Homo-oligomer: A and B are copies of this chain.
Amino acid sequence: MNIKPLGDRVVIKKLEAEEKTKSGIVLPNTAKEKPQMAEVVAVGPTIANDEKKKEEIKVGDRVIFSKFAGTEVKLDGEEYTILKLNDILAVVE
């Protein structure tokens, strides 16, 4: 099964805490709007067809996003989040 986000939306899969620690990122507990780390699973056509935007973010990227953004869905037993590109703050390499 395949999920294709519409417009400038992105589908991400949240990384577990241990993965975050391994990658060297620790997110503070006290921040009012806690950022989270995730991996990009799919990008919408508005991103894929935009020369500049598709350079900024692509499938497989590890990203920091706003915790309260987006909608969570469960697909084939896996949990994903669908959000707008604008709710993704940065790519971490």
Contact = CB atoms under 8 A, between A and B. Distances in A.
A25 interface: yes
Residue of A35, A66, A85 contacting most chain B CB atoms (<10 Å): A35
Interface string A1-34: 1111111010100000000000111111001010
Interface in A55-80: 55-57, 64, 66, 71-77, 79
A25 B73 contact: yes
Nearest to A36: B73
Given A1-B92, A11-B90, A82-B90, A6 B56 contact: yes
Contacts of A11: 90
Contact of A2 (B4, B74, B92): B92
